[in-house]
Chain A
Amino acid sequence: MSEALQPRPIRSLKDFPSEHLLAGGTPMCAGCGGLQVLHEVNDVLGANTVFVNAAGCMTLLASYPYTPFRGSWLYTSMASAPAGAQGVRDALDILIARKRLAPEEDLRAVVLTGDGSAYGMGLSATSAAIERGLDFLYLCYDNEGYGNTGQQASGATPHGARTATSTRGHGGAKKDLFAIWAAHRPAYAATVIGSEPLDLAKKVQKAAALKGPRLILALAPCPPGWDFDARDTVEIGRLAVKTGLWPLREYENGRIAHTRVPHPRVPVEEYLARQGRFRHLFEPRRDEEAIAAIQAEVDAYWRAIG
């Protein structure tokens, strides 16, 4: 196996491989925060992976005869990707146990899903896979809406964000998928973001070394869906962390820890004002109340952390 297929430990940003597993030429949008995460995660995990895909933006990553993967991929459906991972994992276990497959032929099962499936249609299948103790990684690129169909509101859309189905700002609130996972007491759960690759690498490496259900939940800044210039993907991502809107945290052994505590926290409006989906909070006149409410919620979260 070539060096590129065999991941090496990453302790600093310098350790990230300069050759990448994921090939270019994918149909993802320029500046896609989800693709950024996938390529970082893939480089950390190595090629011996089967990505079991749930319908979403990344469905089109593999489109006959083009695939960016050096490892394997299986498209399933929007609702049942964890069940696909279950079938693959169980089959590999059976084959290895019955000596019909050499252990070095084993693969890591990784569900690849957007927030539409993860927070909604696929939640039942995910919950059940966790309760069964399925040995799998669950990688969610959360771009806070049904991005592949033009950014309609999903269970991950934050309060106040304009979407194609909430043109005056989303009335609901973003679900805390990390907490939903943690309530299942999985082997591991973490939130990450592509703009913090070292934090991401440490968590993915930790997850890779464990067995059982493991969540990697990545906020995925989305230039067309969130309405910002593609060049700002990293900057928007960093602001999500610095404002405290996207807490970087992990769950392990029943405890939740924050891997980054932004201090001092940047006011949320610096994050909001950079995105067209929140423009109505600033134009034609500032909606002080709405901005303050979003700030208050972030402040309350971090106050509760202590």
Chain B
Amino acid sequence: MSRELLTGNAAAAWGARLADVDYVPAFPITPQTEIIETLARWYEGGEAPGRLVMLESEHSMVTAAAAAAATGVRVFSATSSQGLLYAMEMIYAVPGWRAPFVLVNVSRALATPITLEPDHSDVLAARDSGFLQIHCANCQEVLDSILIAYRLAEHARVRLPAIVNLDGFYLSFTREPVKIPAAAEARAFLPPFAPGEVEFRASKPVSRAVAALGSSPYSYFRYQTHLAALEALGAYEEVARDFERRFGRWHPAVECYRSEDAEVAFLMIGAFSTKARDAVDRLREKGVAAGLVRPRLLRPFPQAALRSALLGRRAVAVVDQNLSMGSGGVLAGELASALYGCRGAPMIARFVGGLGGRDITAEEFEAMATEARAAAETGEAPAPRLLYTAAELREVRKLQAIALAGPREAGGRS
């Protein structure tokens, strides 16, 4: 074990290296590209025994990844944003193959307009695909979660592909101290891939991923994927406990920070949740019983853990760094469905923020806590709020003035 400064991308590459992956189909996209460049350098220099192949698109990349996994090798790949969406047909198709592999997604906001900055709309578009999802808050978690994700994905009762998600920029390009486990320790935790029946070989002909035109087999196969994903809840606990035993780091399905006795809790995923921790401490200093509840595991959805963390709290401020057009934040809806009808369910205050990499300030966390508590006081759910200030709108107006000035100067056709 060593402790080194690594970016989130480097931590992801280390995770793949320590997982001893055989095969990496790849395609570049900012802010993910460093991951595949790092692996390519290691493989070409003989530092690690893997094989990286450049595909011509993410759609092909995910196809090749699943096909290789279905042939019995351990596969890793990485993408981001538009790339994940370009692959979406296969993201939804391959979980049903029951061939496990790990895909890292470096979250980046979606077009339109195009941007390089992060939010979680990309990975949440894959929410219902059958991929398991683990969301990371720091660079150490990125490395650790990849090893955990392989154990989980390859678990005999699960057998599904998994996405490990990290925020672009705030993790991908940010260096932090990361403990890198020794290769032997990693191998003891994650033994070589045992493909079982999942293989193509001459002596065992098989027709795979075939059509099922009747609704009975169709419903059955789709539901099996769902049941396997649910099974990953128990399997995750088992795997995370083993990880803690070996490496001393506990990565629960749902992280609860000072939430046991909290009056108001933040609920969010990803890198900004460390800012929420900070806010919790400051609120506590001011005498407000605040806490943080952070699902690391988003699929399967840890409903029971969320209930046990949040029932009895007075209010929860959900911070959604994503936007479901015409509905609002995705996590708020997910949480509401988990808590609905339960005795002691908290008031839910919905906030959308951090879109396109927008910062969320300490003051905003405090203000969100205040609004959530006030809502609990009145018993009336507040209208969903976008974290957006008057100064930001003034900035946009200035930009609009420039963008719209052109035709007026060119001849006053307006």
Contacts and interface: CB of A to CB of B under 8 A. Distances in A.
A87 B213 contact: no
B73 A95 contact: yes
A127 B57 CA distance: 12
B23 interface: yes
A70 B203 CA distance: 11
Interface stretch (B60-68, B288-296, B405-413): B60-68
Size category, B interface: 35 or more
Interface in B203-224: 203, 205-213, 217
A73 B210 contact: yes
Interface string A65-102: 00101111111110111111111101110110010110
Given A80-B60, A90-B53, A72 B68 contact: no
B286 interface: no
Interface in B301-332: none
B230 interface: no
B85 interface: no
Interface string A9-43: 00000000000000000000000000000000000
- The 5 A-B residue pairs whose C-beta atoms are closest, nearest first, are A87-B67, A83-B60, A91-B71, A128-B56, A87-B64
A124 B212 CA distance: 28
B90 interface: yes
B55 to A, nearest CB: 6
A91 to B, nearest CB: 3
A92 to B, nearest CB: 6
B283 interface: no
A97 to B, nearest CB: 9
A125 interface: yes
A104 interface: yes
Contacts of A48: 202
> Of residues A70, A75, A91, which shows the largest number of chain B Cβ atoms within 10 Å of its Cβ?
A91
Interface stretch (A55-63, A168-176, A181-189, A268-276): A55-63
Contacts of A286: none
B53 A77 contact: no
Contacts of A60: 211, 213
B24 to A, nearest CB: 10
A107 interface: yes
Given A90-B64, A125-B60, 9 more contacts: A50-B200, A72-B206, A72-B208, A76-B93, A85-B67, A87-B25, A107-B200, A128-B60, A132-B54
Question: Interface residues of A: mostly helix, strand, loop or mixed?
Answer: mixed
Contacts of B65: 87
A52 B56 contact: no
Interface in B151-165: none
27 contacts: A47-B205, A48-B202, A62-B207, A62-B211, A67-B207, A67-B210, A69-B205, A74-B209, A79-B60, A80-B90, A83-B60, A83-B64, A83-B67, A84-B63, A87-B23, A87-B64, A87-B65, A90-B64, A91-B22, A91-B69, A91-B72, A94-B23, A101-B201, A105-B201, A105-B202, A105-B203, A128-B55
Contacts of B51: 90, 94
B352 interface: no
A87 B23 CA distance: 9
Contact of B210 (A75, A87, A95): A75
Contact of B73 (A77, A91, A125, A128): A91
Contacts of B90: 76-77, 80
Nearest to A71: B205
Contact of A62 (B22, B64, B72, B210): B210
Interface string B35-51: 00000000000000001
Contacts of A62: 207, 210-211
B201 A107 contact: yes
B63 A80 contact: yes
A167 to B, nearest CB: 30
B355 interface: no
Interface residues of A, number: 46
Contacts, number: 150
A210 to B, nearest CB: 20
Contact of A132 (B53, B75, B206): B53
Contacts of B93: 76-77
B70 interface: yes
A106 interface: yes
Given A79-B59, A94-B51, A87 B71 contact: yes
A262 to B, nearest CB: 38
B70 A74 contact: yes
Given A63-B213, A69-B205, A75-B208, A88 B200 contact: yes
B68 A80 contact: no
Contacts of B55: 83, 86, 128
Contacts of A128: 55-56, 60
A90 B25 CA distance: 10
B278 interface: no
Nearest to B54: A132
Given A80-B90, A124-B57, A87 B63 contact: yes
A66 to B, nearest CB: 8
B89 interface: yes
Contacts of B212: 63-64
Contacts of A90: 23, 25, 51, 53, 64, 68, 73
A98 B193 CA distance: 13
A77 B201 CA distance: 22
